[in-house]
Amino acid sequence: MNRLFWLVIAAIAVLILVLVINDESGTTLGLANDDFADAAYMSIFGVVVAAGLLGSGIPLNHMVRNIAIWAVIVLGLVTGYQYQYELKNIANRVTAGLIPGTAISGNNAEGSETVSISQSANGHFEVNALVNDQRVNFMVDTGASTIVLTQADAQRVGIDTNNLKYTIPVSTANGRTMAATVPLQEIKIGNIVRYDLRALVSQEGQLNGSLLGMNFMNSLSAYSVQRDQLILTD
């Protein structure tokens, strides 16, 4: 071990001497001095580590196995970092497939906030949103001029439906009915948030599910359908 110590010291001294001699030329053995120094230091470090391992008494096959395991781990981490965005997209698509209505947040090439919504098995685009911090499932309906809540969803988000005035005529799948207008403090879909939007509350039994209407959609800078994905852009 003492011999190794002095060999390392000698190698470092030679390295420093070579770099000093070649300081003006800027290169050593065809490499820039900085690159040569880095390579030399790494070589010395590798020799020290290898000598320590060989002197530890660990069987060579165990040593090789452990080095291989760590090499695979490091390679996996580096690969995961290099392809983090591609892997994130795959994970998001899997999540959206397993949990219908999941809003997948992201950014487009211009840096704008985006939300992707996968098409449901029924052919519609349905998404889970937070309204006044309460979860509500919406069907995107570009034929609806405004957000429409069912009685149950309105009550869930804190609206007192008993004191509403149902004076606004609307058309639903069940025919024409009357609805009440209410303010929504906040509606959040993925990373897109809107405040103080108006909504309608349908009468009991007149609507099968809440609708995400055009007053929300028109607040976006863009929205488009790409294959089975509805992309909302803030």
Which value, to the nearest 10 degrees, does the dihedral of the CA atoms of residues 158, 201, 232, 188 take? Answer: -10
What are the DSSP calls for 19-38, one per residue? Answer: HHHTTTT-EETTEEHHHHHH
pLDDT of residue 6: 63
Q: What is the CATH number of the domain that holds 184?
A: 2.40.70.10
Structure tokens at 103: 């809003």
Tell me which of 82, 117, 147 is where a domain ends: 82
Looking at the structure, tell me whether residues 128 and 229 fall in a common domain: yes
Asked whether residue 110 carries a pLDDT value surpassing 60, the answer given is yes
Looking at the structure, tell me whether residues 109 and 160 fall in a common domain: yes
Residue 19 pLDDT level (bands cut at 50, 70, 90) = low
89 within domain boundaries: no
Looking at the structure, tell me whether residues 154 and 120 fall in a common domain: yes
Looking at the structure, tell me whether residues 124 and 32 fall in a common domain: no
**Helix, coil or strand: residue 185:** strand
Looking at the structure, tell me whether residues 37 and 140 fall in a common domain: no
pLDDT digits (tens, 9 = 90+) for 41-96: 776 676 666 666 666 666 767 767 776 787 788 777 777 666 665 556 665 565 55
Full residue range of the structural domain in which residue 54 is found: 2-82
pTM of the model: 0.60
Helix axes 84-98, 60-82, angle to 10 degrees: 80
Asked whether residue 197 carries a pLDDT value surpassing 60, the answer given is yes
